[in-house]
Homo-oligomer: A and B are copies of this chain.
């Protein structure tokens, strides 16, 4: 005999009472509850999750789908670790567990998600790296699985999402650069279909237009979001007839490759070309020159993701009556040395 049956037998009470005591049901006699709780702690009893899930029709877990391998691994970047922590801090208050589900770049992300949904091992899902057109959103909506996307998409008219405020970043960066006298401002965006690339490019164009500056297609540089991508972008900048005097990077670690290639050409970032990165990382202020970039709290972002997700789940909705379903997450400029303050 094992499990709850064993525990009930040891205590000489029924499994129903044990279950009720453990789950904090109000009708249990306090003395009984105390005995049960003590025995459970002593024996290390915790309910088998499959048994609970099967009976209750839910899993008490939320899945967070991320990409693993390939490009994901090359982005030397712990963005998600910080976010997980924020998500978890909210979930744990509601006795929900966070399960991270890494989808290999070799697997089809849609099929991967389809299986997760069908197996019913999570009650809600957070998806990330949203594509411009993202069939996963359709899939989740059709399946009735509560979810939230980290990143906007053109798919899913009604779905919840939180996204970084790319418009705000582009505006602040362009304003700052124009104020310093820059007229030829380049932008580095990803070379794949991830939606943030389009969003950032459009925001950059609008910001230029606001200042009466035309957007030059040769200053929109697509590359991998990686250190190496930054190197290649510098390479392309160096080859231009008329070089930009400033560049805006959608991924901050590109700065390292950019710095390196500029250095090899005898150019100095911050002096010869102004550089503004995207998200502040642990390294930003230690680069030479320190990278001007934008700060956000990953923990707070995770908290917001979890709250907005729970707000879409019937069983938790009541706790989050006025939680926004969609949010642009603000970032705050952190001045560095890379944008030519000293020129």
Contact = CB atoms under 8 A, between A and B. Distances in A.
B49 A121 contact: yes
A311 to B, nearest CB: 22
The size bracket of the interface on A is 35 or more
B85 A102 contact: yes
A119 interface: yes
Contact of A226 (B73, B74, B282): B282
A105 B283 CA distance: 22
A59 interface: yes
Interface string A91-135: 010000111111011110000001100111100000000000000
Contact of A81 (B46, B72, B82): B72
A220 to B, nearest CB: 23
Nearest to A105: B85
B102 A98 contact: yes
B282 A227 contact: yes
A299 B226 CA distance: 18
A241 to B, nearest CB: 26
Interface stretch (A13-21, A50-58, A167-175): A50-58
Contacts of A69: 81-82, 84-86, 88, 299
Contacts of A50: 49-51, 53-54, 59, 120-121
A180 interface: no
A246 interface: no
Contacts of A74: 78, 282
A244 interface: no
A146 interface: no
Interface stretch (A189-197, A255-263, A312-320): A255-263
Contact of A99 (B84, B99, B286): B99
A281 interface: yes
Contact of A48 (B85, B120, B281): B120
Contacts of A119: 46-49
A253 B283 contact: yes
Contacts of A281: 76
A143 to B, nearest CB: 8
A78 B73 contact: yes
A198 interface: no
Interface string A28-65: 00000000000000001111111101100001000000
27 contacts: A44-B114, A46-B114, A46-B115, A46-B118, A48-B54, A48-B120, A49-B121, A50-B50, A54-B54, A68-B81, A69-B81, A69-B86, A70-B85, A73-B78, A76-B77, A81-B102, A84-B102, A85-B104, A85-B105, A92-B107, A98-B102, A99-B101, A227-B283, A230-B286, A231-B286, A256-B283, A256-B287
Given A74-B78, A260-B286, 19 more contacts: A44-B114, A46-B115, A46-B118, A48-B54, A48-B119, A50-B51, A50-B120, A69-B81, A69-B84, A74-B282, A76-B76, A76-B282, A84-B102, A85-B104, A88-B102, A89-B104, A100-B101, A230-B286, A257-B286
Q: Which 8 A-B pairs have the closest CB atoms?
A: A69-B85, A46-B118, A100-B100, A50-B53, A73-B82, A49-B119, A50-B54, A68-B84
